[in-house]
Chain A
């Protein structure tokens, strides 16, 4: 398996623009997670899906952020409008069942977002 695939790997945009980050989870994984990594706050869980349904979005910072999972093999994280403080590395992860002690999450390589 190719692992979790994220695109783009790098994104540079200007303040106010819309940004869309994409993720393809590992086939057969029922859970998908979006994280953000910053120097100040470390790794933050933004939202996660189970069987394409959003379960917990309490980590989404504000209404400018939205996430969708239209099918089992694709998810997007959108920021509209983007702001300089959104600059971070965004990770997508997938898992069969992270709440089973025998399982874990598999992370993608991340998307480095820079908002000027």
Chain B
């Protein structure tokens, strides 16, 4: 049973517009959430994270929003650039239980 779900396998966005990637989770005890980006033939790289005690974290063009009541996480990329085209993985952790869970990924295509 997947505890972290990314229901959109792919997303296509025009350059300069906003990209919104979504992630849902089932366990209200998750205390930390992360987004990783993966280019073809490379390993995932860390992008941005958020603690469960916050509802927003921003880093340049990337902002992660956390809605705990809805158990929903989203990553906003503004403005989107062709170099953002990659697979994005959402992840969640239970620090006290030393557990990690990844979503299945969303492939973002930013069209020039």
Contact = CB atoms under 8 A, between A and B. Distances in A.
B102 interface: yes
B74 interface: no
B43 A109 contact: yes
A101 B51 contact: yes
A4 B42 CA distance: 11
Given A42-B105, A43-B105, A45-B100, A4 B43 contact: yes
Contacts of B34: 104
B25 interface: no
B44 A91 contact: yes
Contacts, number: 52
A79 to B, nearest CB: 20
A98 interface: yes
Interface string A78-116: 000000000000010100001101001111111000000
A106 B42 CA distance: 11
Contacts of B49: 101, 104
Helix, strand, loop or mixed for chain B's interface?
strand
Given A108-B43, A109-B42, A109-B43, A45 B93 contact: no
B101 interface: yes
B32 A56 contact: no
Contacts of B105: 42-43
* Max chain B Cβ within 10 angstroms of own Cβ: one of A43, A45, A56: A43
A107 B98 contact: no
A19 to B, nearest CB: 19
B45 interface: yes
For the residues of A in contact with B, the DSSP-based class is strand
A55 B104 CA distance: 23
A101 B34 CA distance: 10
20 contacts: A4-B43, A33-B100, A41-B104, A42-B103, A43-B103, A45-B102, A55-B98, A56-B99, A91-B43, A91-B44, A93-B43, A98-B93, A99-B93, A101-B32, A101-B49, A101-B51, A107-B36, A109-B41, A110-B41, A110-B43
